[in-house]
Chains A and B, each alone.
Chain A
Amino acid sequence: MAEGVGEEKKKFSIWDLPDVPMGQVPPHLELQRSRVSCNKDAPIHTESIQYSGAYASMGIDNSSRLDRFSNNFRVEVVQLNKDDMEFDMIGIDAAIANSFRGILIAELPTMAIEKVLIANNTSIIQDEVLAHRLGLVPIRVDPRLFEYLSENDQPNEKNTIVFKLHVQCKRGRPRITVKLDALKWLPNGSELVKETRNATSDSSSKPETYTYFGCSQETIPEFVKNPIIPKYPDIIIAKLGPGQEIELEAHAVKGIGKTHAKWSPVATAWYRMLPELRIDCNCRRRATVARPRVCTLCRECIRGDDWEKRVALRPVKDNFILKILEEKCERVITELS
């Protein structure tokens, strides 16, 4: 009799259960893995389950192979203007999305004014304040056309852009506001002459300036019809009273946001998870969410007593809305690798 029982006794396997799908995580675990549950007190299941052996006891391989990633990953652009961009990345993890955000803010090169040579400043704005303001000005130029300027290099037409500002408020005239449209681009390089030590310098050679431009930047094809100008010509730099004058030259070089925020190409870049709202209602009329994207997760909908049972607020863990503000978005694309 014991043998009979031994023969009939089979090994119990989890796959024999009728409601467990083969090769996939059961639905309640899938919910835990892919959605954050925003409860009344706090969100739960926020961490992403990356460990390859997480579901090993069930025989499911959680390791993400590149082919699976390639098949599932999608990008959908929602909005694309000159100044800002919003797009969805579906199928990646928070770690990767955050690395994109970090690179956008800190490691994309731009051009910004670094050296300001002040010949005359009798305004009430101090030299250093003026130079700081000029540094923060966004310049409308493609930084891929320029090279980095290191300490040993000489400033030449391949790594420097030179601007000039010369404004004067004459006596008897009203106060003037100096806006960025007064900043003029000098395609031929610096015009300020360096003082040479030896008095017997030959007068036949050109006087030495602060930059060594081999050729005029106007001859570079990209700049033939597009002069380099600041992006917003109505930014106020300074205000002059009667009798005050500002005469300076500003040199712009290439840099990245890590060194100084003036070289950051974006005003800001942020990401969030796409919220998913589920309304389970047992009444006859069904309700659906009209615009889930607009949801800001303020949790008003689960504030009421009984509402929690009916509204499930669940951001999707691998659907990221990335918003990039300011400056040329196209540059982002080529620098991504």
Chain B
Amino acid sequence: MEHGSFTDNSAATFSLTDEDHTIANAVRFTLNQDPRVTFCGYSIPHPSEAQVNIRVQTTGDPAREVLKDACQNLMLMYRHVRCTFDKAVEHFKASNAVKALKIDSQDSSGDDSEESE
């Protein structure tokens, strides 16, 4: 999964199977935001195979740690998006009471199962 050198672990290529642009572009974006990264990019060797190669070069930190941090950041970002989205939908429903009544009566079971998580 990781193709790097044993002596220098600040640069490595990570090969992910069963992935495509969806996750790769998002990971590349968060990697770029990290100040420890000098170079990052992703490529898809062949469109018929679901494989992605992510290349990370850092300023000294081990590349896999930086990738792990980037994935962690991405997860937190998505979690925050989800919370904000939930709140925005609640707010919208509350402010549009008439429409909300029609939608809520259909999806009340769905919302209950969500809140109990």
Point out residues on A near B: beta carbons under 8 Å.
Answer: 50-53, 61-64, 66, 69-70, 73-77, 80-82, 87, 89, 92-93, 95-96, 98-99, 102-103, 106-107, 142, 144, 222, 328, 330-331, 333-334, 336-337
Q: Check B103–A82 contact: CB distance below 8 A.
A: yes
Q: Check B22–A99 contact: CB distance below 8 A.
A: yes
Which residues of B in the span 62-117 have a Cβ within 8 Å of any Cβ on A?
73, 75-82, 84-89, 91-93, 96, 99, 102-103, 106-107, 109-111, 113-114
Q: A61-B35, A69-B77, A99-B22 are in contact. List 19 more A-B contacts (CB 8 A).
A: A50-B33, A63-B34, A66-B76, A66-B77, A73-B80, A74-B84, A75-B84, A75-B85, A77-B88, A80-B96, A80-B99, A93-B29, A95-B25, A98-B25, A99-B23, A99-B26, A142-B110, A330-B107, A330-B110
B3 CB–A CB distance under 8 Å: no
The chain B residue with its CB closest to the CB of A82 is: B103
CA distance A337 to B106 in the complex (A): 23
Give the residues in chain B near A77, CB-CB below 8 Å.
88-89, 91-92
Main secondary structure of the interface of A (DSSP, over half): mixed
Least distance between B94 CB and chain A CB atoms (Å): 11
Q: Check A95–B28 contact: CB distance below 8 A.
A: yes
Q: Check B33–A334 contact: CB distance below 8 A.
A: no
Give the residues in chain B near A64, CB-CB below 8 Å.
33
The chain A residue with its CB closest to the CB of B111 is: A330
How many Cβ-Cβ contacts under 8 Å join chain A to chain B?
101
B15 CB–A CB distance under 8 Å: no
The chain B residue with its CB closest to the CB of A107 is: B22
B54 CB–A CB distance under 8 Å: no
The chain B residue with its CB closest to the CB of A78 is: B92
Q: Check A69–B80 contact: CB distance below 8 A.
A: yes
Give the residues in chain A near B96, CB-CB below 8 Å.
80
Which size bracket describes the interface of B in this complex? 35 or more
Q: Check A337–B107 contact: CB distance below 8 A.
A: no
Q: Which 4 A-B pairs have the closest CB atoms?
A: A102-B22, A77-B92, A95-B29, A75-B88
Least distance between A152 CB and chain B CB atoms (Å): 20
Q: Check B84–A73 contact: CB distance below 8 A.
A: yes
Give the residues in chain B near A102, CB-CB below 8 Å.
20-22
Give the residues in chain A near B26, CB-CB below 8 Å.
95-96, 99
B32 CB–A CB distance under 8 Å: yes
Q: With A70-B80, A102-B21 known to touch, is A52 a contact of B37 (CB < 8 Å)?
A: yes
CA distance A192 to B77 in the complex (A): 50
Q: Check A222–B109 contact: CB distance below 8 A.
A: yes
What are 19 sample pairs from A and B whose C-beta atoms fall under 8 A apart?
A: A52-B32, A63-B34, A73-B80, A75-B84, A75-B88, A77-B91, A81-B103, A95-B25, A96-B26, A98-B22, A99-B25, A99-B26, A103-B22, A142-B110, A330-B107, A331-B110, A333-B85, A333-B89, A337-B75
Least distance between B13 CB and chain A CB atoms (Å): 19
Least distance between B48 CB and chain A CB atoms (Å): 14
Give the residues in chain B near A337, CB-CB below 8 Å.
75, 78-79, 82
CA distance A75 to B89 in the complex (A): 9
